[in-house]
């Protein structure tokens, strides 16, 4: 349960790629979440996915568990540990775009890193803002830095994260794109569960069939 907010993820069950998500309560007032995409087919990248998921949970609790913590430094360190673990288990280079965020319920702020992932979309009363990449995808370079940034979420704000399979959904030579996601997120207030499901419904309607080209995942965080 979140204080004054809720989070949800939705995805089509026919998963073939490396999408995976994580949610973790790391302190009484901090909620950690992430959406990552390990390169390769699902049957081949399972060890890397499982190792990254385990690192996300254990390092997240360790880094964000204290009452007094520099969230930006903790988020940067989380990205560093994930990067090294992905490369260790893969035995070398393994691209993994990733978006990880820590929502502070007391302050209504989001500290995040975007390691070469599809931009997050943050909607408030007046506009929808992109949260672009703050570093390269994880798993490429052992010393690649990933910056952390902090943004505020006002009342009734919504955050949407989508996998590459959402923006690359295609019909008649046209892509659904971030524009399609922006259209969905701009259509009014609602729960995180409703927002994540509406994105997937719009992707399927756009393609006129259930998507099978890639993993299709939508993660949402909304403030009441």
Among 28, 12, 26, which residue's Cα sits nearest to residue 75?
A: 26
CB 189 within 8 A of CB 156: yes
3-state secondary structure of 66: coil
This prediction has a pTM of: 0.94
CA atoms of 99 and 96, how far apart (whole Å): 10
Q: Whole-angstrom Cα distance, residue 120 to residue 112? A: 10
Looking at residues 44-57, what average pLDDT do you find? 95
The whole-number pLDDT of residue 80 equals 97
CATH of the domain at 121: 3.60.40.10
Domain span at 166: 5-223
Q: What total of structural domains would you count in the chain?
A: 1
Stretch 148-160: mean pLDDT: 94
* pLDDT single digits (tens) 63-120: 999 989 999 999 999 999 999 999 999 999 999 999 999 999 999 999 999 999 999 9
Structure token pair of residue 7: 């989070």
Q: Residue 212's pLDDT is what? A: 81
Tell me which H or E stretch contains 49: helix 42-64
């Amino acid at each position: 349960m979140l204080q004054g907010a809720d989070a949800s993820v939705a995805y089509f069950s026919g998963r073939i790629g490396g999408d995976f998500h994580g949610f973790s309560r790391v302190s009484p007032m901090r909620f950690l979440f992430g959406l990552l995409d390990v390169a390769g087919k699902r049957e081949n990248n399972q060890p890397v996915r499982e190792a990254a998921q385990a690192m996300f949970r254990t390092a997240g609790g360790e880094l964000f568990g204290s009452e007094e913590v520099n969230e930006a430094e903790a988020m940067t360190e989380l990205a560093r540990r994930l990067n090294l673990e992905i490369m260790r288990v893969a035995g070398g280079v393994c691209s993994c775009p990733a978006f990880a965020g820590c929502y502070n319920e007391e302050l209504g702020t989001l500290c995040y890193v975007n390691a070469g992932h599809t931009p997050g979309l943050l909607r408030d009363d007046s506009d929808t803002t992109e949260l672009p990449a703050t570093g390269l995808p994880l798993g490429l370079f052992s010393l690649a830095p990933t910056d952390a940034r902090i943004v505020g979420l006002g009342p009734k704000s919504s955050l949407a994260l989508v996998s590459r399979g959402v923006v690359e959904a295609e019909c008649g030579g046209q892509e659904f794109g971030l524009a399609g996601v922006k259209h969905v997120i701009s259509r009014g207030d609602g729960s995180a569960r409703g927002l994540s499901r509406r994105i997937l419904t719009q992707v399927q309607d756009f393609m006129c069939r259930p998507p099978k080209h890639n993993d299709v995942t939508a993660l949402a965080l909304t403030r009441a």
